[in-house]
Amino acid sequence: MMGLTSILLLLVATSTAAVLEHQLVWKESQMIQLIRNGEYPAYLDFRDRMVSARSSNLATVVQSATDYVYYEYMGNITVGTPDQNFIVVLDTGSANLLIPGTNCTTYCEKKRLFNEKESNTYIATNKPWQIKYASGDAYGTLGIDTVKIGGSFEPQLAIPNSYLGVADTVGSDFKWSPKEGIFGLAFTALAVDNITPPLINAINLGLLDQPIFTTWFGQRGAPGTSASGAFTYGALDKNHCGPVIGYVPLTNARHYQFQATGFSLGSYVSTTTYEVITDTATSFLCGPQAAIDGLAKAAGATWDRTNQVFNIPCNADAGPIKMKIGGFNYVIRANNYILQIDTNSCLFAAIPQSYAGFGPAWILGGPFMRQYCNVHDIGQKRVGFALSLQ
């Protein structure tokens, strides 16, 4: 008699359209681990030197991508036939799939490496690619193969003929990170080399019931504990999310970018309308210096110059951070904007970023995405939000 997992795998393999609930793996962000170990200032110095070197030679910058020390949620995928398993960052802030290949030696120690010679479905393009991250360059060759969302030991969504970057070199953050790759979930317009990302490929092939996916992040626990989460491809997540409060159209269909206004907390109120993105690979809120400073002061947080973060009493509660999106009011409660890093130390989960009028002014990361499920409606180029049922 077939088990439930076997039945689900058969359904995924034989259905023309499917829904997949993909369970996530939670790991505490590298940033918090580095702060706890007193190593974060050295990382900041390294990152700033990398950014400074690039800014002096703009012609070398291929793409400005995420600093992958902030993520906390990952998922399992496989590449090739038969399956080769990898654990990757599922990133709505980028659009390329990157995994290390057998030629990767630096920073790839103890990682599983993709062996294209062992895949019966791999197609070589012999085309080079390159992406510049805050922690260093990644480059290699583009290939085409079957990519499956979900590990070989769980239900999967198979996406044939998908582009992937097989890396010969990766950024230094791979050395200390549990991730073995990056799975970009944004639009083709954001992808390096204008390739079709695997998820967009799945939608183009009609593999999903609906051209949407829903993200749910469970509550973050105390240090030493784990958290849960799931991405539901092809449908709303009715197991973890309430009804959709409202949708807002995308203002730039590269990222999941839209407008928000009225950021406030306590006595601090901003009436400015900002361009905003949500980002599954960021565990903080990131925004303009003046706005973040105002929110931090209202929350009772103080600036830590050494680590360039805001410290806050663990029992603080100045009320919710409020904002308005698409005419609807949203809040982030204190249990989601205060991050505990050890028994008596907590961070205010908001950091300033410089955007100089280019790109989104705000990134709504983990604090917002734990408060609300995000419905990424790729077909209608809009995002919706539903209260997380937790």
* Across 97-110, average pLDDT: 94
Structural domains for the chain: 4-204 (2.40.70.10), 240-388 (2.40.70.10)
Q: Are 339 and 349 in contact (CB under 8 A)?
A: yes
Q: One of 83, 168, 237, 279 is an active-site residue; which one?
A: 279
193 in catalytic set: no
Give residue 17's pLDDT.
81
pLDDT, residue 219, reads: 84
Range of lowest pLDDT (45-54, 162-171, 188-197): 45-54
- Give the model's pLDDT for residue 60: 36
| Other CB atoms within 10 Å distance of the CB of residue 228 | 16
Catalytic residue (choose from 67, 91, 145, 168): 91
Describe the strand order of the beta sheet including 382-388 as a list of residue ranges: 20-23, 229-233, 212-217, 372-377, 382-388, 241-249
Annotation marks residue 317 as catalytic: no
* Cβ pair 285, 364 in contact under 8 A: yes
Confidence check: pLDDT of 357 > 50: yes
- Digit-coded pLDDT (tens) for 203-224: 999 999 999 999 999 987 666 5
Coil, strand or helix at 46: helix
Predicted confidence at residue 70, as pLDDT, reads: 78
% of residues, the chain, pLDDT over 90: 73
CA-CA distance, 18 to 235, in Å (whole number)? Answer: 9
Output the CA torsion 166→135→281→247 (10° steps). Answer: -90
Strand partners, 347: 311, 339
CA distance linking residue 216 with residue 231, whole number of Å = 6
For Cα atoms 358, 361, 362, give the angle at the middle one, nearest 5 degrees: 150
Average pLDDT of the residues in 342-367: 86
pLDDT band, residue 29 (cuts 50/70/90): confident
Higher pLDDT, 275 or 57: 275
Of 98, 117, 116, 118, the residue nearest 108 (C-alpha): 98
- pLDDT of 136 reads 74
Q: What are the pLDDT digits (tens) for 276-296?
A: 999 999 999 999 999 999 999
195-203 average pLDDT score = 98
CA 307, chain centre distance (Å): 22
Segment 170-184 shows an average pLDDT of 89
Q: Is 128 helix (H, G, I), strand (E, B) or coil?
A: strand
Confidence at residue 358, expressed as pLDDT on a 0 to 100 scale: 61
The strand pairing partners of 244, in sequence order, are: 386
More confident residue, 225 or 351: 351
Q: What is the identity of the amino acid at 344?
A: N
Q: Stretch 150-176: mean pLDDT, rounded?
A: 94
∠ CA 194-198-202 to the nearest 5 degrees? Answer: 120
Looking at residue 359, its pLDDT comes to 74
Cα–Cα dist 193/187, whole Å: 12
Pick the closest to residue 69 from 338, 282, 223, 255 (CA basis): 282
Q: Which residue has the higher pLDDT, 71 or 141?
A: 141
Is pLDDT above 60 for 80?
yes
Least confident of 43-57, 227-241, 327-341: 43-57
pLDDT at 9 over 60: no
